[in-house]
């Protein structure tokens, strides 16, 4: 049986990894294994945001760069490890915004080099992205922004259900469907594996990523803890609060990380 450690072993140093936001399906159990194996130089893309999962990887020294619309602990404030990395310049930040991330992933999904995007021209963000292009729209003669395709090496996520045929049910989390189409490989952990074909039932099929797009699925109950998983279990507020307080200092982060790595 595939395990989270097996999934982590399939993510080489230097990989471009797409990660779900805290509310969408984070495989914290695999991130723990990435930290344990000493992963290095990862490039993270948020779908379209990042949270605790990314902050842990950044604080543990696993990350070289991130592209995201935002990174935070939600109502608990800034992501402290990221903030230290930003101030020290130890992590390269590729500024983006929600529609631009989705546009880049959609371009990769469709197999094209870029996608036009409205609504961003005129913002300071454009000046921070030399890889974006402003061009004339051939249909309106106005300006349009061309966003290059975002094709991650790996989508890493956690979901409620997989099946024995390798299909992955993600329910309403359509950003995971988009990212799985865009990424070269998808690695997922799940709460349970059903001995049936999820694609055979239209009720389940609508929220299922076919096995064609899934490289490996590992069984990992509570694999999204402590951020929680929609319809299964809530976020553990006490752990998140403890992290937000401890990680304000490098020493506090290290103590939290040691305890978290040992707690499995």
Is the per-residue pLDDT at 1 higher than 90? no
What band does 126 get if pLDDT is binned at 50, 70 and 90?
A: very high
> What is the mean pLDDT of the segment spanning 27-48?
98
**Full set of structural domains in the chain with CATH:** 4-96+151-262 (3.40.1080.10)
State whether residue 185 is helix, strand or coil.
strand
**Residue 178's pLDDT is what?**
98
What band does 118 get if pLDDT is binned at 50, 70 and 90?
A: confident
Peptide bond into 226 cis (omega under 30): yes
**Residue 173's pLDDT is what?**
95
For 129-167, what is each residue's pLDDT tens digit?
999 999 999 999 999 999 999 999 999 999 999 999 999
**Helix, strand, coil percentages in the chain from 3-state DSSP, rounded to 5:** 35, 25, 40
Percent above pLDDT 70 for the chain: 100
For 7-35, what is each residue's pLDDT tens digit?
999 999 999 999 999 999 999 999 999 99
Residues 254, 247 contacting (CB under 8 angstroms): no
Is the per-residue pLDDT at 107 higher than 90? yes
Residue whose entry in the numeric block shows the structure tokens 């055979």: 200
132 against 118, higher pLDDT: 132
Q: Phi first, then psi: what are they for 119, rounded to 5°?
A: 95, -5
> What is the mean pLDDT of the segment spanning 34-57?
98
For 160-182, what is each residue's pLDDT tens digit?
999 999 999 999 999 999 999 99
> What is the mean pLDDT of the segment spanning 109-133?
95
> Per mean pLDDT, which range of 26-30, 63-67, 132-136, 260-264 is the poorest?
260-264
The per-residue pLDDT of the chain, averaged, comes to 97
What band does 241 get if pLDDT is binned at 50, 70 and 90?
A: very high
**Residue 190's pLDDT is what?**
98
What band does 263 get if pLDDT is binned at 50, 70 and 90?
A: confident
What are the DSSP calls for 28-70, one per residue?
A: HHHHHHHHHTT--SEEEEESSEE-HHHHHHHHTT-EEEEEESE
Residues 166, 136 contacting (CB under 8 angstroms): no
């Amino acid at each position: 049986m595939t395990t989270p450690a097996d999934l982590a072993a399939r993510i080489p140093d230097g990989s471009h990894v797409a990660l779900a936001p805290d509310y969408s399906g984070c495989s914290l159990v695999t991130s723990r294994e990435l930290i344990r194996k000493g992963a290095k130089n990862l490039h993270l893309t948020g779908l379209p945001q990042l949270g605790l999962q990314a902050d842990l990887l950044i604080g543990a020294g696993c990350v070289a760069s991130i592209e995201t619309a935002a990174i935070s602990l939600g109502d608990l404030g800034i992501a402290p490890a990221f903030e230290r990395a930003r101030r020290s310049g130890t992590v390269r930040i590729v500024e983006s915004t929600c529609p631009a991330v989705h546009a880049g992933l959609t371009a990769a999904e469709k197999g094209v080099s870029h996608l036009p995007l409205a609504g961003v021209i005129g913002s300071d963000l454009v000046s921070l992205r030399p890889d974006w292009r402003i061009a004339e729209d051939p249909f309106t003669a106005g300006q349009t922004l061309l966003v290059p395709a975002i094709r991650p090496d790996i989508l890493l996520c956690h979901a409620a259900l997989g099946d024995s045929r390798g299909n992955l049910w993600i329910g309403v989390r359509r950003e995971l469907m988009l990212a799985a189409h865009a990424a070269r490989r998808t690695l997922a952990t799940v709460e349970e594996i059903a001995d049936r074909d999820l694609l055979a039932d239209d009720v389940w099929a609508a929220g299922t990523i076919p096995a064609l797009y899934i490289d490996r699925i590992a069984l990992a109950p509570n694999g999204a803890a402590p951020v929680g998983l929609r319809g299964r279990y809530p976020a553990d507020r006490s752990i998140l609060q403890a992290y937000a307080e401890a990680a304000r200092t490098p020493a506090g982060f290290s103590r939290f990380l040691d305890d978290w790595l040992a707690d499995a």
